[in-house]
Amino acid sequence: MSLLFAQPTQLYLDIQSYNQHKYWQESQEMTHSVWKYYLNRLFLDSFLIYLKDEYSRQPQIWKNDKLEQIWALVDGTAIIINNKRFVLLATEIIDDDEVTIPQEWIDIPSWVADYYLIAQINPDQQWIRVKGYTTHGKIKTQGTYNEQERLYHLDGDKISEDLSILWLSQEFCPEEITRTEVQSLPNLAVKQAENLIIDLANLELISPRLTIPFSLWGALLENNDWRNQLFQLREGLTIKLSDWFNNLFDNFWETPENLNLQFSVSRNVTESTIKRAKLINLGDETVILVFEISQEKSSKFSVSIHLYPCQKNRYLPPNVSLTLLTLSERILKSIQAENQDNYIAINKFKAPTQFIFKVKIQLESLTKTEQFML
């Protein structure tokens, strides 16, 4: 990879065409955060190539399997090198007089980093300019905080441009103090968190990060489960069962008849009952998850859930389980198949509009979990 130096101390990185195309395609799967995903992925990829080529370093990517969740809600990527955390922040337009850092990376205790690298990215011309780096302590003590935007601002002359000095300090001054203390965030009650998640998920905004007090927002993001639930809802990965009454189904949910389901799904169903089925793969085994939903007069829904073997099998795999959970993963009902069970079921339950729940199918160590909203 070629490295260009328009200024003696600032690092320029190339964006590889292959990865540019690949990450643009990936970003199209996002609902609210296409551009955030694209820019953050390009910077991360280019910076990792630079570290490998120039320093033979392969850092750990913090929350590597959760990056799309983070990028959907806030800019930035954290990596770990020699037990030090670095946050990579990229923007298309950069003000050389000052830089900005999202509050989440400064004031959420478990997100705090040692160093922050700020870069300008130009996807069209395929280059990234790494303006420089700073520390958490310098941002907190020398920066200014903008409460409306929830950004920390730091004067450009307080940014160190030469990354070679950063790597030397890592080698010769590993005990350098880079962080300052931050206040802990409140412990949210589960019900409060669930209500916040539902409210934030229903906002038609690119990002809801400024709509509730930072203490609440930070507490939601710091909790892996709550952040995932908010991401799932906002990105449309939660299945809205009420949409089925408007004939809105995704391609995975079919009528039981289309899957050649031979068993009677339920008795005494009304014409207003909607039945849909989905194939669930559990390693070498395949089962069929079936939902029956009807709408009650009291603005509630009646739901029952069944699990059947696929057409080639007469019985379910022994010990396969079907579990109904709340949004916070409290178990409401669980049932396990015994030998020669040709179905198992979570019997009819009633729930109001916007009730969110999860269904987990498990066979030994293999698990599939789906999230639903009425």
Least confident of 235-244, 260-269, 356-365: 260-269
Is the same domain home to 39 and 116? yes
How far, in whole angstroms, is CA 53 from its chain's centroid? 30
Return the structure tokens found at 127: 């280059």
Is the same domain home to 163 and 300? no
- Which CATH number goes with the domain that contains 353? 2.60.40
Is the same domain home to 210 and 273? no
Q: Is the pLDDT reported for residue 174 higher than 80?
A: no
Give how far Cα 197 sits from Cα of 11, 47, 59, 188, Å.
40, 33, 33, 12
Report the pLDDT value the prediction gives residue 233, as an integer from 0 to 100. 85
Report the pLDDT value the prediction gives residue 126, as an integer from 0 to 100. 93
| pLDDT tier for residue 47 given thresholds of 50, 70 and 90 | very high
Report the pLDDT value the prediction gives residue 30, as an integer from 0 to 100. 83
Neighbours of 66 (CB within 10 A): 14
Q: Is the pLDDT reported for residue 164 higher than 70?
A: yes
What lies within 8 Å, CB to CB, of 6 at 6+ separation is: 12, 129
Report the pLDDT value the prediction gives residue 103, as an integer from 0 to 100. 97
Is the same domain home to 136 and 22? yes
Report the pLDDT value the prediction gives residue 29, as an integer from 0 to 100. 83
**Residue 179 forms part of a structural domain:** no
**Residue 298 forms part of a structural domain:** yes
Burial 38-65 (b: 16+ CB within 10 A, else e): bbbbbbbbbbbbbbeeeeeeebeebeee
Is the same domain home to 168 and 302? no
Is the same domain home to 130 and 20? yes
Report the pLDDT value the prediction gives residue 263, as an integer from 0 to 100. 53
Neighbours of 227 (CB within 10 A): 19
Of residues 18 and 2, more confidence is placed in: 18
Domain boundary pick from 180, 215, 234: 234
The reported pTM is 0.79
Distance (Å, whole) CA 31 – CA 258 = 30
SS in 3 state form for 83-137? CEEEEEEEECCCCCCEEEEECHHHHCHHHCCCEEEEEEEECCCCEEEEEEEEEHH
**Residue 181 forms part of a structural domain:** no
Distance (Å, whole) CA 207 – CA 127 = 27
Pairing of strands 321-326, 144-146: unpaired
| pLDDT tier for residue 150 given thresholds of 50, 70 and 90 | very high
Q: Is 69 helix (H, G, I), strand (E, B) or coil?
A: helix
The average pLDDT across 35-57 equals 92
Q: Tens digits of per-residue pLDDT, 240-250?
A: 888 898 888 87
Q: Is the pLDDT reported for residue 232 higher than 90?
A: no
Report the pLDDT value the prediction gives residue 242, as an integer from 0 to 100. 87
Q: Tens digits of per-residue pLDDT, 84-129?
A: 999 999 988 877 788 999 999 999 999 999 999 999 999 999 999 9
**Residue 185 forms part of a structural domain:** no
Report the pLDDT value the prediction gives residue 235, as an integer from 0 to 100. 81
**Residue 178 forms part of a structural domain:** no
Write out the residue range of the structural domain in which residue 257 sits. Answer: 239-373
Q: Tens digits of per-residue pLDDT, 264-285?
A: 545 445 557 899 999 999 888 8
What secondary structure letter does DSSP report for 372? E
Q: In which residue are the tokens 């038609």 written? A: 204
Is the same domain home to 263 and 230? no
The average pLDDT across 149-174 equals 88
**Residue 261 forms part of a structural domain:** yes
Give me the sign of the Cα torsion angle 61, 64, 69, 72. positive
Distance (Å, whole) CA 42 – CA 71 = 12
Distance (Å, whole) CA 189 – CA 16 = 46
Is the same domain home to 31 and 113? yes
Q: Is the pLDDT reported for residue 342 higher than 80?
A: yes
Is the same domain home to 217 and 328? no
The average pLDDT across 307-321 equals 88
Is the same domain home to 365 and 243? yes
**Residue 183 forms part of a structural domain:** no
| pLDDT tier for residue 139 given thresholds of 50, 70 and 90 | very high
Q: What phi and psi values does residue 197 have, to the nearest 5 degrees? A: -60, -45
Distance (Å, whole) CA 212 – CA 209 = 7
Report the pLDDT value the prediction gives residue 8, as an integer from 0 to 100. 55
Residues making up the chain, counted from first to last: 374
Is the same domain home to 224 and 273? no
**Residue 177 forms part of a structural domain:** no
Contact (CB, 8 A) for 292 and 273: yes
**Percentage with pLDDT > 90 across the chain:** 51
Is the same domain home to 264 and 146? no
- Number of domains, the chain: 3
Considering only CA atoms, which of 156, 153, 130, 149 is closest in space to residue 140? 153
